[in-house]
Structures are given as structure tokens and as C-alpha cells.
Amino acid sequence: MSLDAIFLDRDGTINYDFGYVGDPENVEILPGVIDGLKKLSESFPNIKFIVISNQAGVARGLITMEDVKKVNTKIKNILSAEGIEISKFYVCPFHPEFSDEKDVTCRKPSPEMVLQAVEDFNLNLSNTYFIGDRTSDVECGKNAGTKTILLASDKYKNELEILNKKNISPDFYAKDFTEAVNWIIENEVNAEN
């Protein structure tokens, strides 16, 4: 079984989404994430974990790019202490209402950040998954050519419905991170047989 990478949304997927997370002191990893990433690392020893994150709070003037970097570092350090390495954080700090048109091309659902990661790490897209809690995560993954998992979210309850209206379906709809990880492993095992 070979799996090149898992692309992960950040807020609402790895850590609690309090809305524009700018203070590293507020970082709290969601249940199941640490154990799930460990399980994936054990099952696929060369796997890369890559974070793909829209951070429009920067364009809105609510947080700074420095805040985003500090939060990313805090997440990286928490996970690193558990033996989990995040290969890289890709961030799009722009928003169509506040930014130049040419700048917002990185913003999910655009696949730009994923494709940059593919180039940076020489990944095979058919051996990747994208896990996130928003329609933009699923659409980004689909646009790039990854398998996609939508996480159920207390904050965003209608994401599946919104996708259905666009005739887009995630490859899997998971009630939580643990279920997402178990499905990836099961899916990969079945693909081998």
C-alpha cells in the first residue's frame, strides 16, 4: 500500500475553529486527530501530511500573517511532540472582497495550493486524499484530482447539502476524523486486493 499524502484543511479539521484563529494560546487539537495521524503514519510510513488553508482573516484585517505563522508553528509543535510531522503549511491569506483578483487564485476551491504541493514534494495525486470540513475543501480536492473526505461539522451543518446542489459528492462523508482515517485505510486495503 502506498499513499503519498493527506491534504488537510486546518481550522475545523485539525484544530477547533473559533473563527479566525490568531492566537497560538487558543489552539486546541480536535479529538481523534493525533491518534488518526499516528495510525496513518504507521500504516503508510512515507506519507506526508500537508495543510492547505484559506486564511481570509488576514485580508479582512482581523489577524496578521505573523499570527497565522504562529498558530501553524503551535500546531506543528503539538503534533511533532506526538511524533507526527506536518511537511508544510500552504496558506492563502486573500479574499475576493478585500484582495486583488490576481491574488485570490490560490484560494480554495482553487487547486493551486495542492498543485504547488504536488510539485514541491513530487506527489502522485491518485495516491492522495483531502480531508476538510467545508465545501471548498471537497471542491479543491476534486479540482486537483485527490480523493476527498468531508468531515461532519457542528459549525457548518449544510455542507453536504450545498455540494449535492452542485452535483458534487465527496468520496466519503465522515462523522469525525477517526472515521475518516479508518475509511482511508480500509479503502487502500481494498484497492490492493
- For the segment 65-88, what is each residue's pLDDT rounded down to a tens digit? 999 999 999 999 999 999 999 999
Nearest residue to 88 (alpha-carbon basis) of 123, 64, 56 = 123
9 is catalytic: yes
Q: What mean pLDDT do residues 92-99 have? A: 84
Is CATH 2.40.10.10 the right assignment for the domain spanning 5-192?
Answer: no
pTM of the model: 0.96
- Active-site option among 9, 17, 67, 137: 9
pLDDT at 1: 60
User: Domain-by-domain residue ranges, the chain?
Assistant: 5-192
Residue 57 CA from chain centroid, whole number: 17
B/e letters for 128-146, b = 16+ CB within 10 Å, e = fewer, are bbbbbbbbbbbbbbbbbeb
| Active-site residue, 11 included | yes
